[in-house]
Amino acid sequence: MSYDNTVNQAARAELERRRKLAEETARQNLEDFLLRCPRAGEIRRELAANAAGAARAVVSGGKVREEMERRRERGLTLRREYEDLLREHGLTRQDLEPRYTCPICRDTGFAEGGPCSCYKALRRSLAYKQLSAELPLSECTFEGFSLKYYQGDPAAYERMSSILKSCREYAENFRESSPNLLFWGGTGLGKTHLSLAIANAAIAKGFGVVYGSAQRFAVALERERFDRDGGPGGGTSESLKECDLLILDDLGTEFSSAYSNAAVYDVVNARLMARRPAIISTNLGLSGLEERYGERFTSRIAGNYALLGFMGKDVRIQKIKS
């Protein structure tokens, strides 16, 4: 999978930040220790001199074996004393060494002659974030979803209470093989709010989530289609197909073209084949979807998505009125 340069650069910058932080912290810890315990500094200098002396003894000849043995013993004694001093100060040797986020590559991003898995994970999450940048994720929680706007209509209230409960359960139990959901209903009934609340919960559990409007994704796909000759693509299509959970908001409001309709089908179908869950919200009913994306697409949705019909009066308008 290829990413655009901003993602690669951001991933490398993040690795460098982690590496420097780990090394700086270790350096600081050592400095503090030597300040509190001057004897430790002496030992470190003596150990270095001892090792250099051993090297000189080999070169100069003479009683090399005796000299080496004496220095080895001395080295052991010094190291033991150093360990005791560390313990006295409540430290271990690891405390004075850099604690890398990824011990495999020591936060360099490279291991065993190729990119480390931490670097790949970082690029993936940054690409998802970049793709998802537009929506107010933090504002959309289950706690912030109020049923009072549905109280005027008992049927709507009952329906929305049950949808809220289902969404909470879905979020709590979210896993890679969770089912697909189709939220449909008029504007302002909370479809985006609840799908983002699920996204929040899944992200908190460490899943890779891409969320955004169909319009945004359509624009990104269209742009990459024309940029294809100019270097590596942005990986939008791969991200949409490969993330753990895709939230496709407002399907049907994107600018319609044969290309974007085919791209939507391609993404939805690829995820079904790979059994990766998606939550699609739309104002269009099944007949509207069929009219727009064709019978093949709609039958895939009808057969593989749990349909949740949102009811009520436009919450946004009620909020403005009150």
Contact residues: Zn ion, CB under 5 A: 102, 104-105, 116, 118
Q: How far is the CB of 22 from Zn ion (least distance, A)?
A: 12
Q: How far is the CB of 124 from Zn ion (least distance, A)?
A: 13
Residue number with CB closer to Zn ion (52 or 104): 104
Burial 271-293, CB ≥16 within 10 A → b, else e:
bbeeebbbbbbbbbeeeebbebb
Q: How far is the CB of 11 from Zn ion (least distance, A)?
A: 11
15-19 long-range contacts (CB < 8 A, ≥24 apart) are 15/107, 15/108, 15/109, 15/118, 15/119, 15/122, 16/107, 18/100, 18/101, 18/102, 18/107, 19/98, 19/100, 19/106, 19/107, 19/108
Residue number with CB closer to Zn ion (116 or 140): 116
Nearest CA to 132 among 222, 228, 226, 247? 247
Identity (one letter) of the amino acid at 82? Y
Q: How far is the CB of 244 from Zn ion (least distance, A)?
A: 20
Residue number with CB closer to Zn ion (112 or 143): 112
Q: How far is the CB of 13 from Zn ion (least distance, A)?
A: 15
Report CA-CA distances (Å) from 304 to 42, 181, 284, 297.
71, 9, 17, 11
8 A C-beta contact, residue 150 and residue 311 = yes
Residue number with CB closer to Zn ion (120 or 300): 120
8 A C-beta contact, residue 172 and residue 272 = no
Q: How far is the CB of 110 from Zn ion (least distance, A)?
A: 8
Residue number with CB closer to Zn ion (102 or 209): 102
Return the axis-axis angle of helices 191-204 and 154-172, rounded to nearest 10°: 20
Residue number with CB closer to Zn ion (117 or 141): 117
